[in-house]
Amino acid sequence: MKTYIPLLFQKRHVLPGGRIPLRIAPGPQMAAFKAAMREGNSFGVCMFDQDEHGHHFFQIGTRVTVEDFDVSPSNGCLIVTVAGHENFTIDHMEETDDGFFCGDCQYIPPWPETEVRQDQQILAEKLKQMFNKHPELGDLHQKKQFDNLSWLCQRWLELLPVPASEKQMLLSAPSCSDTYDYLISIMQKPH
């Protein structure tokens, strides 16, 4: 299925089943947010990297809806809590007169729910520890799916500082198995 939606490029990543707060700066980001609200509360959050050559935008993003928002007292930015629904690839993108981007997007089939095996429990245990240590992260997820490997892998991809290019490669796979292998290899490395 195709859709045409406003796009926001963020360093923070949200994936299907996730919830995160995003900072919406005045200017093009705010214009994209307002357009999304006028069009029905849905927009795309896309990844980008910044290097010496400028910004590099990636093709895979996540359609989100707004669940809550507040104004930051320090700088006037909006802090918007969004829920991730489905991933998409951007087929075509164009800049609007207001300076933000909209894109023709094609939805990607979701990773199938996968029951966590006994030898995969480490991902669930470490995420529980993370939520206990940082309750604000755990509070974002009312329905925690510690028995669903796809959900666990997506939460770890949101949390870990994995380069966006690697996240894109993992998200393009038809299931979470490559991501699980990748995460386990990271967690088993000595620190």
Q: What integer pLDDT is reported at residue 149 of this predicted model?
A: 98
Residue 61 and residue 112 in contact, taking contact as beta carbons nearer than 8 Å = no
- CA 13 from chain centre, in angstroms, equals 3
Q: What is the pLDDT of residue 136?
A: 93
Residues of 39-53 as b/e, b for ≥16 C-beta within 10 angstroms?
eeebbbbbbeeeeee
Residue 88, classified by CB atoms within 10 Å of its CB into exposed (0-12), middle (13-18) or buried (19+), is buried
Helix, strand, coil % in the chain, rounded to nearest 5: 35, 35, 30
In this structure, the number of other CB atoms found within 10 A of the CB of residue 15 comes to 27
Reply yes or no on whether the pLDDT at 190 is more than 70: no
Q: What is the pLDDT of residues 55-79, one digit of tens each?
A: 677 899 999 999 998 887 777 789 9
- Distance between CA 24 and CA 124 in Å, rounded? 31
Q: What is the mean pLDDT of residues 12-41?
A: 90
Output the six-digit token pair for 175. 């299931």
Taking only the tens place, the pLDDT of each residue in 72-130 is: 777 778 999 999 999 999 999 999 998 899 999 999 999 999 999 999 999 999 999 99
Q: Residue 4: beta bridge partners?
A: 104
pTM score: 0.90
Distance CA 44, CA 63 (A): 4
**Per-residue pLDDT at 54 exceeds 80:** no
pLDDT at 2: 74
Other residues' Cβ atoms within 10 Å of the Cβ of residue 65: 13
User: CB-side exposure of 51: number of CA atoms within 13 Å?
Assistant: 7
